[in-house]
């Protein structure tokens, strides 16, 4: 069963609770900047455990101390769903940088 994409109003409401996140190209997006490569990698490992537990995995990249994350749901036509908002909230709770 495919996930249902959120409406633009639902995405706007969710973004009001997700500091620093934006909606771009059909995804929730945020870049986190850490103090070092080691911090960025430890963040990615921690997020990886949460994503795996949810069976919902981000598109992300790492360049030295930065981690760029994009969230959308493949089985919803690469649109934002409640799963993406839930994972963004978990990521927000894990992050120790603003």
The 10s digit of each residue's pLDDT in 26-40 is 999 999 999 999 999
Give how far Cα 28 sits from Cα of 5, 9, 17, 91, Å: 12, 14, 12, 12
Please name which of 16, 96, 86 lies closest in space to residue 58, comparing C-alpha atoms: 86
Look up the pTM and report it. Answer: 0.94
The answer to whether 14 and 6 are in contact (CB under 8 A) is yes
Show Cβ contacts of residue 49 under 8 Å, excluding neighbours closer than 6 positions. Answer: none
Which residue carries 């036509």 as its tokens? 77
Show Cβ contacts of residue 55 under 8 Å, excluding neighbours closer than 6 positions. Answer: none
The answer to whether 34 and 67 are in contact (CB under 8 A) is yes
In this prediction, residue 3 has a pLDDT band, given cuts at 50, 70 and 90, of: confident
Task: Give the domains, in start order, of the chain with CATH numbers.
Answer: 8-94 (3.30.1360.20)
């Amino acid at each position: 069963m495919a996930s249902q994409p959120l409406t633009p109003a639902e995405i706007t409401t969710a973004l009001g609770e997700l500091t620093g996140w934006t909606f771009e190209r059909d995804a929730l997006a945020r870049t986190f900047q850490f103090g070092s490569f080691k911090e960025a990698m430890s963040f990615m490992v921690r997020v990886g455990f949460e994503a795996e537990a949810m069976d919902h995995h981000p598109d992300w990249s790492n360049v030295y101390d930065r981690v760029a994350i994009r969230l959308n749901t493949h089985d919803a036509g690469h649109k934002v769903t409640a799963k993406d908002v839930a994972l963004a909230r978990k990521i927000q709770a894990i992050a120790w940088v603003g």
